[in-house]
Structure 1
């Protein structure tokens, strides 16, 4: 079983990792921890470095538990939701675990919702964590 975790390295991220660890142990799965960034100019370099560091920190708990885990920083010019869905299809993922946060209707209209895109477009089950 391949489990993809959409990971930003903040707040609900730790809960996502705990659930992924539990599922990976139960189903003898492999975990893909993914952060998606649209990309951009030089001002983004510090964000890329921070994202890479967060991914490596997240991977440690899987390594310590003997769970196969790979990290992926996606910078492919796509919005995060679309990028995660496409990556899940490319890798044959069986389950996606993603965090959701409450946003006003206006906030969703202006900024979109990564989780909403993933939930509606993914070709596999999606577990959303609040």
Structure 2
């Protein structure tokens, strides 16, 4: 079994990483950690630097988990990047972190998490920080 975790270096991303680790231990699964950016990585604070990825990977490996990291500037939509990675990696579960948003914010601004939840052909576990 494979679990894809959409990781960003935020409390929401850490919650997703923790949930992925727990599920991977429970299900004897491997983890595919994906961190991507819409465009310029230098201005996107959700784009993890190498030290953040190393820490996340070490956290997973300390639990005896096998992890693959997909990290890069896709230049496209983050939801599409994650969904494509899930299909390419043949994963069984996607885990993402959710951030708190106001009802108006949900209406006006598109949500990456909402798109993943609605468009994914694979089960999605969404967690809060």
- Range of TM-score over shorter length: 0.7 to 0.9
Q: CA RMSD in A?
A: 2.2
How do 1:1-130 residues align onto structure 2 when only pairs under 5 Å count?
A: 1-40=1-40, 44=42, 50-130=48-128
Q: Which segment is superposed worse, 100-109 or 115-124?
A: 100-109
Q: Once the two structures are superposed, what CA deviation does each residue of 1:71-125 show, in whole Å capped at 9, x if it has no partner?
A: 1113222111111011111111110010112223443355421110111111110
Runs of 4+ aligned structure 1 residues displaced above 4 Å come to: 45-50
> 2:32·2:68 contact (CA, 8 Å) conserved in 1?
yes
| Greater helix content | 1
- Secondary structure at 1:128 match in 2: strand
> 2:3·2:94 contact (CA, 8 Å) conserved in 1?
yes
> 1:4·1:93 contact (CA, 8 Å) conserved in 2?
yes
Q: TM-score, normalised by structure 2?
A: 0.86
Q: TM-score, normalised by structure 1?
A: 0.85
> Which 5+ residue runs of structure 1 have no aligned equivalent?
none
- Secondary structure at 2:34 match in 1: strand
> 1:8·1:51 contact (CA, 8 Å) conserved in 2?
no
Post-superposition offset of 1:10: 0.7
> Which 5+ residue runs of structure 2 have no aligned equivalent?
none
Report the Cα distance in structure 2 between the residues aligned to 1:92 and 1:52, rounded to whole angstroms.
25
